[in-house]
Amino acid sequence: MSRAAEPGGKGARSACTQTDSLTGQVPRLSKVNLFTLFSLWMELFPSVEPQKHSKVKKAGLVVVKDMKIVGLHCSSQHLHAGQIALIKYGSRLKNCDLYFSRKPCSMCLKMIVNAGVNRISYWPADPEISLQHQASNEDAKLDAKAAERLKSNSRAHVCVLLQPLVCHMVQFVEESCHKCDFVQKIAKTQPGSSADFYTECRQKLIKAYESLFLVAREESHKHILNTIGLENLCENPYFSNLRQNMKDLILLLATVAASVPDFGHFGFYCDQAECVGEAYYRRLPQEVARHCMIQARLLAYRTEDHKTGVGAVIWAEANAESCDGTGALYFIGCGYNAFPVGSEYADFPHMDDKQKDREIRKFRYIIHSEQNALTFRCQEIKPDERSMIFVTKCPCDECVPLIKGAGIKLIYAGDADVGRKKADISYMKFAELEGVRKFTWQLNPSYACASAPEREELTVRNPDGEPKPPVAEEQDPQAGAACLGDH
């Protein structure tokens, strides 16, 4: 098979585990597929500006250095994803791996190849300059030929890199998503309806993502693959395997996205000492908070803890808008819970807190997701900018001082463990944390603890004068890409 495509075989061993160790007792997502899923998800980043109809498709980009994510980006109205990479990194792109949600156009490809990147991997469907529904558009075909010539004559490895999901991975993700904090909270308030709600939301997302990321007709897909230089994938069994791998990843992405439903919202966490104040006005738009939490949920499937996967991602908001499609937000770092780098999977205990013998419990050895995110962050946290961490579980007492000490201003978290003490692990300090604003996913309006005058001041009213909960800022109707499956 040529350099154009390297779909991983079922026996292929991923060389990108945290500890280069054996996998645990649950399926684990490979880093290559995680990077691919992140690129697709970044394409769905809520638009900070109205999107105009164009033959140039919006694209997501993941920048990887030494198998660690150093940047998450998406194209803006004026700049392609490859152009943004060049502006942000310049010569620092040397020896980086870039994962695109679409094959970059020749204009972007020539610049990033010239920067000395190591690998350019892209999703094998409609390219950045769309060939779909553009049969008579010669410019799109000429660009595809130019990009192919650049690929063939570059030192960078330009390829499709899709690894099959490990056995039972989709089934495991679906089962764990049913049990996650957000869906369970719906189950408690609406018994019997949460499963139906989740299933309906998931099915809508699957349809939406397939229409966006997968060419519906196989003949059309083969035509596009031929045009962008992947003719060696148009013959079976390669084509069938490629389509199946693509469908599996789309299914997994939709399953995880449905686990953080639009039904609820991220609201200000009120304890006895705090109520809604300026934090209400400074929180992120709901669709952005949800998008970042789903990134953390995806990271959780890289865990080396065979019982509980936890993911964390850190973003910051600059004092001014940037050229990126993410607006003022920029990526700081991410992590998942795992054993120390370089250790073997069998080196440490794996028992949970139900074991009577405290010596064989795992919690003293597992590096928490927040700790990994801070350890392997690609940028420093600036005290004059608003930084935020998204964690799939409530931070424990071990991580809360680290988060505050690092200068992170906002915490967005699942709250199933808030205020609880579970055997050796306590989640009590989260409620006592001062100087850091906390937001948890909730069904009830976040202003419920405010005084009557505060509630009246914060109330958003419908045109007929009736109050409605201030669950989010007004959404741009053009920003629907990240809100697919709204109820």
From CA 113, how far away is CA 347, in angstroms rounded?
Answer: 42
209 class by beta-carbon count within 10 Å (0-12 exposed, 13-18 middle, 19+ buried): buried
CA distances from 253 to 29, 227, 434 (A): 12, 27, 35
Q: Quote the radius of gyration of the chain (alpha carbons, Å).
A: 23
Q: What contacts 24+ positions apart, CB below 8 Å, involve 455-461?
A: 458/276, 458/280
- Single-letter amino acid code for the residue at 100: F
* φ and ψ at residue 331, rounded to 5 degrees: -80, 135
CA 62 – CA 74 distance, rounded (Å) = 9
CB 88 within 8 A of CB 71: yes
Helix, coil or strand: residue 65: strand
Catalytic residue among 174, 370, 457, 473: 370
Contact assessment for residue 210 and residue 123, using Cβ atoms and an 8 Å cutoff: no
Asked if residue 332 lies in contact with residue 315, where contact means CB atoms within 8 angstroms, the answer is yes
Query: Long-range CB contacts (< 8 A, 24+ apart) of 380-384?
Result: 381/314, 381/316, 381/332, 381/406, 381/407, 381/408, 382/316, 382/407, 383/407, 384/319
Residue closest to 98 by CA, chosen among 11, 462, 84, 149 = 84
Phi/psi of residue 391, each to 5°? -130, 135
CB 470 within 8 A of CB 460: yes
Structure tokens at 171: 């089934």
Backbone angles phi, psi at 337, to 5 degrees: -75, 135
CA proximity to 224, closest of 292, 339, 144: 144
Contact 12, 36 (CB under 8 A): no
**Quick one: angle between helices 238-258 and 218-227, nearest 10?**
110
* 166: Cβ contacts below 8 Å, ≥ 6 apart: 23, 27, 28, 30
End-to-end CA, the chain = 45
Q: Is 219 part of the annotated catalytic residue set?
A: no
CA angle 36, 378, 20 (to 5 degrees): 60
Q: With contact defined as beta carbons under 8 Å apart, do 39 and 212 qualify?
A: no
Q: Which residues are known to be catalytic?
A: 370
